[in-house]
Amino acid sequence: MIYQAFKGEKQENDAGKEIEFERLCFVVSPDVEGDEPVARIVYRKPRGRDFISVREILAPNWKQCMPSRSKAFLKKIKDCRERITKYAVPIVIVRSATLNEIGEVFVRVNSQGMRIRSADRAVALMGKLDVSDMARELRQTLREQGFESAGIDPILMGFNLVSEKLNLDGDPPKLDVMARRWARAVEQNQKALNGFKKHWDLYKRAFLSAAQYVRDHFPVYNASYLPSANMLSTLSVFFYHHPGQPNSWQTKEIRKWFWATGVGKRYSGAGYHRNIVSDALLFRALAWGKRSHFVFAERLDPITDLQVEQYNASSAVARAFFCLLAKQKPRYLDNGEPIPLDFPVISPASAKHRHHIFPSRQLRAVVTRKAYNSLCNICFLVSADNEGIGKKLPRRYLAECRDGGRKRFRSVMRSHLIPVENGSGVWKPSVAPAFRQFRSERLNLICKAFEREAGMKLFRKS
């Protein structure tokens, strides 16, 4: 990372995404809000005295590269430079060890300081089983089918769920326990290697089926739409035990699970581990033909669980929201034709295709940043439409769209979940009251849309 920051090259990361290291920038004067931690190194285009490329900071002639020569500014840059150049990189040399011993050393060394991921620990302990390459091959197959899966962790998690014993009241089986069990079995009997490969091939087909299913039915066009990567892990349990497509009962329960898990953030926080185990057991029961039910006991508060979520966060709720918008088949404002969401031109990973319905430049003086960046103020829009709207208020640019035909206009607005009835907030002249009314109205529409897609109640009265 430090070397590439110095070189400023373009490199592909482990997730297959091209990283432009020249865009790694130091934030000279961060915008501090309360006691929240503030990022000092960000990935964005360098700009003036605010965002300085780390490559220029590390250059031998760094002072000549700076846009300012003021002492205070150069002191901040020098401090950043020294923190990076004087960073001590630890090196550990291990000699004359077996594969299993190397794996154990890797786990023990990396358990100090920054903890290694459970997937890395499992891979290190697998010994003769090259499970890392097998998982990467599966990930590459996903990518070739247009589904950009980021890491191998959810792949190994899913394999763990189908190969180990599950306890409803406990955490998921430990990946390193699974790794040691398979490594011992293969070491004691080479026939176990064939059993492992057969087991993996069945799981591989199940995982690919899970990815195809969420893409076809929700629609998760790529990994940036998926509320949690581990949702593929648990859904693969169903397809492992049921290679065919689900019947109507199974489809209904999978639908409930997907939307409740996304908007309810069930795979994060305190209940994360138990929810994964209970879902895996539910999917196994459904696959075996039992008429089991998905249960979502704690309903959500529309304001605290949805309205406060920020559009530029990578949270499960934000991803579920963009899935919900995609499910509505949003249309172009000018001609009412469907926006092609199954192409990378409008991936939620690209912020330039997310449009503030009430422009942020109009709201900055009257509401907080968190208010105007709320999911309730965001819709899909291609960049040409977005740039054409600029800082116009919705009562102006939506009126222009309405003049092109009211029937088409209502259809387009439904596809974006935008309330436009007479008296709606989008038509009000006073900016702050109009926005607050609109936010409340749209929150109501979004909650109803989530429940309609899920086929169950998700929210309580706030």
Asked, for residue 94, whether it belongs to a domain, the answer is: no
pLDDT in tens, 98-144: 666 666 666 565 555 545 555 555 555 555 566 777 888 898 888 88
| Poorest-pLDDT segment among 137-151, 393-407, 448-462 | 137-151
Domain boundary pick from 285, 316, 345: 285
pLDDT score of 407: 93
- Tell me: do 405 and 443 sit in the same domain: yes
pLDDT in tens, 238-249: 999 999 999 999
pLDDT score of 120: 58
Which string of b and e fits 320-334 if b means at least 16 CB within 10 Å? Answer: bbbbbbbbeebbbbe
Domain boundary pick from 52, 85, 118: 85
- Tell me: do 211 and 265 sit in the same domain: yes
Virtual torsion, Cα 444, 445, 446, 449, nearest 10 deg: 120
Asked, for residue 102, whether it belongs to a domain, the answer is: no
Mean local confidence (pLDDT), 345-373: 77
pLDDT score of 206: 96
Q: How far is it, in rounded angstroms, from Cα 36 to Cα 43?
A: 19
| Closest among 401, 226, 427 to 331, alpha carbons compared | 401
Virtual torsion, Cα 276, 277, 280, 284, nearest 10 deg: -170
pLDDT in tens, 52-76: 999 999 999 999 999 999 999 999 9
pLDDT score of 102: 64
pLDDT score of 346: 39
Query: Domain range for residue 394?
Result: 302-454
- Tell me: do 318 and 275 sit in the same domain: no
- Tell me: do 306 and 440 sit in the same domain: yes
Confidence class of residue 425 from pLDDT cuts 50, 70 and 90? Answer: very high
Exposed, middle or buried: residue 310 (CB in 10 Å: 0-12, 13-18, 19+)? middle
pLDDT score of 350: 43
pLDDT score of 347: 42
Report the DSSP beta bridge partners of residue 43.
24
Is the pLDDT at 349 greater than 70, yes or no?
A: no
- Tell me: do 195 and 47 sit in the same domain: no
Q: How far is it, in rounded angstroms, from Cα 31 to Cα 364?
A: 15
Domain boundary pick from 285, 316, 342: 285
Is the pLDDT at 289 greater than 80, yes or no?
A: yes
Q: How far is it, in rounded angstroms, from Cα 43 to Cα 422?
A: 43
Q: Higher-confidence residue: 285 or 113?
A: 285
Q: Higher-confidence residue: 417 or 87?
A: 417
CB 234 within 8 Å of CB 266? no
Confidence class of residue 191 from pLDDT cuts 50, 70 and 90? Answer: confident
Mean local confidence (pLDDT), 442-458: 97
Asked, for residue 245, whether it belongs to a domain, the answer is: yes
Total number of domains in the chain: 3
pLDDT score of 419: 97
pLDDT score of 132: 75
pLDDT score of 34: 58
- Tell me: do 333 and 274 sit in the same domain: no
pLDDT in tens, 310-323: 988 789 999 999 99
pLDDT score of 391: 83
Is the pLDDT at 343 greater than 80, yes or no?
A: no
pLDDT score of 9: 87
- Tell me: do 211 and 270 sit in the same domain: yes
Is the pLDDT at 345 greater than 50, yes or no?
A: no
Confidence class of residue 348 from pLDDT cuts 50, 70 and 90? Answer: very low
- Tell me: do 132 and 274 sit in the same domain: yes
Average pLDDT, whole number, for the chain?
85
- Tell me: do 281 and 306 sit in the same domain: no
Mean local confidence (pLDDT), 301-317: 92
CB 425 within 8 Å of CB 438? yes
CA distances from 302 to 54, 268, 416, 442 (A): 41, 18, 19, 11
- Tell me: do 200 and 240 sit in the same domain: yes
pLDDT score of 434: 96
Is the pLDDT at 145 greater than 60, yes or no?
A: yes
Strand extents, DSSP E, 244-391: 354-356, 378-380
Q: Higher-confidence residue: 458 or 110?
A: 458
pLDDT in tens, 211-243: 999 999 998 888 888 999 999 999 999 999 999
**What is the value of pTM for the model shown?**
0.75
pLDDT in tens, 386-398: 666 878 899 999 9
Asked, for residue 215, whether it belongs to a domain, the answer is: yes
- Tell me: do 228 and 264 sit in the same domain: yes
pLDDT score of 134: 83
- Tell me: do 229 and 139 sit in the same domain: yes
